[in-house]
Amino acid sequence: MSSREVVVLSVGGVRFVTRNSTLQQFPESRLARMLNDDDREFKLVNGEFFVDRDGALFSYIMDFLRTLQVSLPTDFSDYQRLQREAEFYGLYPLADLLSQEHLLKPRLEILEVRFSLQEMQAFFWIFGSCSTTIEALAEQITVFTEQQSGQGWNSPFSSQKSLVPLPLERPSHHDVVFLCGTEYSAGDQFVARYVSIKPDNRKLINGSNVLGLLLDSLLKDGFRLISTRTVASEEKAECYTFERMKRAAGIAIMVNQTPESSGVAQARRSQVQKGK
């Protein structure tokens, strides 16, 4: 029986087709013993193993066996039921992880964008409750600077100098600050700052255009705009607040393959969420 390469299971009326090796990821589990006819709970009918359990939840069991990772939908709520199913199949490392719901549940993430216009410049300050999101945004946003003399700036025939990228200001792990627009500096020099936000390749200098592109990027990334307010009317400062449910970091199971510890599994976080 265990020599079969392809195994068919009917769990609560839902049919699953998998490999023999997948079911033997944890040799001490009931699914592995099933292949050797060592468990009477599993009936072999017409070449298929019949199991009188929840077929919908078994799909998560199969996903775990195939990937050795726990990855659940953001709207998943049946942690206790899935834990019982994992215990039934003898997958105790998975059951232990499911008992720690706080590691697997999605978290509400808040992000604020503050925007103000000061003469020919626009000021942006982005704050997020999740530092990994801020780091990802910092990688998407690039500020370029260009300097020209006052005379050259107004001349339509002047050749544009190459744009030099500037590092973004990072006051902390949770925020990022940048400027765009033009300003007059000492020595009759105009300084221009352009902003580019990936995957858009444009270099924008107008603050309103940059704001529109930034807000659109956040909406496409799954954020939802929940409020807009003026925080300083004299400075024309506006605050845009977003939220989204952020999926928990993936959790992987490390299976030790040494002869002394065959079938022993340990859990670890496959990703580390900074600032949590």
Quick check: 162 pLDDT over 60?
A: yes
SS3 276: coil
Length of the chain: 276
pLDDT beyond 90 at 9: yes
Measured in degrees and rounded to the nearest 5, phi and psi for residue 202 equal -70, 150
Mean pLDDT of 170-182: 94
| Domain layout of the chain by residue ranges | 6-105, 108-148+160-246
Q: Give the C-alpha distances (Å, rounded to integers) separating 240 from 8, 171, 234.
A: 52, 19, 17
What's the average model confidence in pLDDT over 51-72?
A: 92
pLDDT of residue 198 exceeding 90:
yes
Fold of 108-148+160-246: Gtp Cyclohydrolase I Feedback Regulatory Protein; Chain: K (3.30.1410)
Lowest mean pLDDT among 156-165, 205-214, 231-240, 250-259: 250-259
CA 103-241-127 angle, to 5 degrees, is: 70
| 105 DSSP assignment | S
Mean pLDDT of the chain: 82
Closest residue by Cα to residue 112 from 238, 220, 226, 241: 241
> How is residue 24 written in tokens?
């033997």
How high is the pLDDT of residue 258? 39
Cβ pair 193, 143 in contact under 8 A = yes
Exposure string of 135-166, with b = 16+ CB inside 10 Å and e = fewer, is: bebbeebbbbebebeeebbeeeeeeeeebeee
Over residues 60-89, the mean pLDDT reads 90
What is the reported pLDDT for 187? 60
Q: Can you tell me the mean pLDDT for 107-112?
A: 92
Task: Please answer whether residues 42 and 50 qualify as being in contact, where contact means their C-beta atoms are separated by less than 8 angstroms.
Answer: yes
- Quick one: pLDDT at residue 59? 95
The CATH architecture to which 6-105 belongs is 2-Layer Sandwich (3.30)
Q: Is the pLDDT of residue 2 over 70?
A: no
Distance of CA 38 to the CA centre of its chain: 41
pLDDT higher than threshold 70 for residue 235: no
| pLDDT at residue 254 tops 90 | no
The model's confidence at residue 72, banded by pLDDT at 50, 70 and 90, is confident
Q: In percent, how much of the chain has pLDDT > 90?
A: 53
> Which of 70-84, 87-101, 179-193 shows the lowest mean pLDDT across its residues?
179-193
pLDDT value for 223:
94
Sheet holding 265-269, edge to edge: 69-70, 251-255, 265-269
**214: closest CA among 128, 141, 119, 152?**
141
Residues 126-161 have pLDDT tens digits of: 999 989 899 999 999 999 998 765 555 454 434 455
Residue 190 makes CB contacts below 8 A (sequence gap 6+) with: 147, 148, 149, 150, 153, 182, 183, 184
> Tell me, what amino acid is at 138?
A
In the predicted structure, residue 270 carries a pLDDT above the cut 80: no
Token couple for 237: 């400062």
Provide the 3-class DSSP secondary structure of residue 186: coil
pLDDT of residue 252: 66
The whole-number pLDDT of residue 146 equals: 86
Range of lowest pLDDT (103-107, 185-189, 206-210):
185-189
- pTM here is 0.61
Would the pLDDT of 48 be above 60? Answer: yes
Q: How far is CA 109 from the centre of its chain?
A: 11
pLDDT band at 239 (very low <50, low <70, confident <90, very high): very high
CATH fold match for the domains 6-105 and 108-148+160-246: no
pLDDT score recorded for residue 37: 76
Cα–Cα distances in angstroms (integers) from residue 269 to residues 27, 71, 220, in the given order: 23, 12, 27
pLDDT of 221 reads: 92
